[in-house]
Structure 1
Amino acid sequence: MQMTFRKYMSHKYFFIMLLPVLLYYLIFHYAPIYGVLIAFQDFKILKGITGSKWIGFDNFKDLFTSMYFLPVLRNTLIINFYKLIFGFPAPIILALMINEVRFTIFKRVVQTVSYLPYFLSWVVLAGIIIEFLSPSRGPINVALSMLDYKPIFFIASVDWFRSVLVSTEIWKTIGFNAIIYLAAMSGINPEMYEAAEVDGINRIQKIWWITLPSIAPVVVILLILTSGQIISDDFDQVYNLLNAKVMSVGDVIGTYTYNEGISKMNYSYAAAVGLFKNVIALAVVLFTNTLAKRFSDETIF
C-alpha cells in the first residue's frame, strides 16, 4: 500500500494534469446519473425529483407497449447496423491507402481534406448535403438529368434516406478515425517490411501479412467500443436531415426521445427510453468484449 502511494506521488504532476478531465466526467457524465430516477417516477418539474410520485416500471410498460417505439427501435438498429458494416472498415481502408503513399505532400493534402468535415457541425453539413442532393440544382441530379434520368429527391425518399445517413456519416468521420489507425501503423517496426522485401513479398502481401496483423489489437478494441453504438444514433445528423416524408424510415431513438421529452414534456417517459438504450448499449459492449476474449487477447477489460 505504501509503495503504491509512493508511485502515485512520484507521478503527481501527471495526475494534476489529468484532474480537469476527471472533473469534466464527474460533473457532466456521472453527476447527472442521479436524474435517471425520474424514469421510475411521474416526474413534475415543480415538485422535483424528491417530490414526484414513484410509479415503478410503468414508464417501461408504456415503452414496450407503444405502437411507435418498435418502429423507431427497428430504424435505429437498421441504420446503425449499416453504419457498422460499411463505416467501420472505411477508415481502416483509407489509412492503409494513405500509409502506402510515398509522396508526402499528397499524403498531407489527402489527410487534411478527409478529416476536415469532422470539425464541422451537422447544422452546417446538413445544409451542404441538402443543397448537394437538391433535385433541381444538386450536381448529382443535374448529371442524372443530362443522362435523361428523372431527378431523385434523396432527402425525401424512403428508399434513399438511410443510404444518405450512412454515406454522410462515413464522409464526416472517415478521415478523423483514420488517424488512429495511421498512428498504430507508425509504430510498426520498419525492419519487418525490409525483411519482407528481401523475401520478395509485394505491397499487397505486406499489408495482409504485416500491417493488418500489427494493427489488429487497435481494430479489436475500437470494434468493441463501436459495437455499443448499435443502439445509439447521431441525433444531430438525423434531426437536421429528417423530414415528414421519411419519418417511417428515419425516426430513431434520439429524435423519438427528443419529441417525447422536449416537445411533449413527457420527461419520465423520455428518461425511460434513454435508460433502456444505455442498458442495451452496455450489454452489447460486454457481449462483444466477451466474444473478443475467445478469439483474441486484446480486449478492453
Structure 2
Amino acid sequence: MAQRTWFITGINSGFGRHMTEQLLERGDRVAGTVRNMNSVDDLKAKHGELLWVAQLDVTDTPAIYAVVDQAFDQLGKIDVVVSNAGYGLIGAAEELTNEQITHQINTNLVGSIQLVRASLPHLRAQGGGRIIQLSSVGGQAAYPGGSLYHATKWGIEGFIEALMQEVAPFNIGLTLVEPGGARTNFKDHSAQLAPGMEAYEGTPAAKARSNFGDSTIVPMGDPAKMVKIMIDSADQHPAPKRIALGSDSYTVIHQALTSRLAELEAQKELAFSTNYPKEDAL
C-alpha cells in the first residue's frame, strides 16, 4: 500500500494516540496536533520525520487555519484529515457554568467545523481527499447529564451530513465515526464534571455523574480495534457516511432510531393535515 499522509488533531491520548501509533507503525506520515508539545516526545523519538507535530488548541480559530496551512505547505498532499480533538462534559444543563458551556461548544463543535473548513481549500486544490469526523453514540442518542456534549455531537453530525453533499463534486469524502464506550483515558483526562446542585440529587443526571466516577464500570470497546476500522475506512469508496463502533453503540443507536421512526410514523396523519388542500395549492 502506498504511503499516506494524515492530519490528526489531539494525538496525545485516546483515539488520536492509538491512530497515530498504528499509522506510524505501518509507515504512513502523520501531521498531529497537541496542546502540550512534550506529550508525544516518545513517538517523535521513535518515528522521527514520519511524525510532524504542531501545538494547537482547537478553540483558537486563527491558529487552526495557520496550522492547517503550515501542514499542507510543508508536507504537500494530505490524504486524510481526522477531526478527533474533543472532550465530554457531564452534568445537568442547569448545573453547568457559562464558561463550561462556551468551552464545550468551542472545542467539540466550532473547533471541528473550523478544522474542516480550513482543510477544504487544500483538499479541493489537490483534487480530493478524505475527512473523518469523530462523533459518538452520543451523536445519535441522548442521555441525561450529557446535554451540552450531545448538543455538540448532534450539531457536528448535521454539519458533516450537509457538507458531504456540498463537497462530493470535488472528490472529497466524509465519514462520521460513532464509537460507544472504549477503554481509553476519556474519564481521567478528556472529560469534565459540572459543579453539582443539591436539587438534582437522586435524579437521572446525578446517576450519570456517579456512573462517571465509578471505576468498576469498564467499557467493552477495544480502542485499537476501533481505530483500525477508522483507518481502513479511508480505503472504502464511496466513503461510508457513518460507522458505529461497539456493541453498545449499535444497540443504543438502533433503539433510538427505531423509537424516533415509530414516533414519526404515528404523526403522519397530523403532519399531512397541515397542508393546504390540493385544490388550493399555488
TM-score of the pair, normalised by structure 1:
0.26
Of structures 1 and 2, the larger Rg is shown by: 1
Higher RCO structure (Cα 8 Å, ≥6 apart): 1
Greater fraction helix: 1
TM-score of the pair, normalised by structure 2:
0.28
